A = this chain, B = another copy of it.
Amino acid sequence: MQDLNRTDKVRMTQQRRVILEALRRDNIHPTADAIYEMVRRRLPRISLGTVYRNLEILTALGEIQTLEMSGSQKRYDGIAQKHYHIRCVHCGRVDDAPIAPLNRLEDELYGATVYTIMGHHLEFVGLCPECSQNEEAQRFAERHLSMPSESP
């Protein structure tokens, strides 16, 4: 991870602008390589490393947010405001979850934990409309769902 000093000056380069525009244009929460493919249509010589570096800088600037989903790949969101997401366990698609932030969630933990609580991450999982109609995806989801055991 690059050492982004808060005194660093930042320039709005072509690459940075095009990446930001790609993220702002639609709300598909793309992975870094998906952004790379989108941006490459306009800047064919851009490198994947540049994409990663700019995604990190744009996140540090508060222009976008980096989603560390429970899946493997990170995803990026052109909307910096805090909001929750829902992820398809089968195809990985990510959408915004239409639910307001739970600002009081941490209250229950005060006094009950030795940690200094800073916040929480919440993500919903399910099947997107396409995968909901796919039998193989449904079997996959059932296996996924069955464990760990539910609490009583």
A interface, CB within 8 angstroms of B: 59-60, 62, 65, 68-71, 80-83, 86, 88-89, 95, 97-101, 105-106, 108-109, 112-129, 132, 141, 144-151
Contacts and interface: CB of A to CB of B under 8 A. Distances in A.
Nearest to A112: B98
A82 B114 contact: no
B128 A124 contact: no
Given A81-B149, A132-B116, A109 B123 contact: no
Chain copies in complex: 2
A83 B145 contact: no
A50 to B, nearest CB: 21
B101 A151 contact: yes
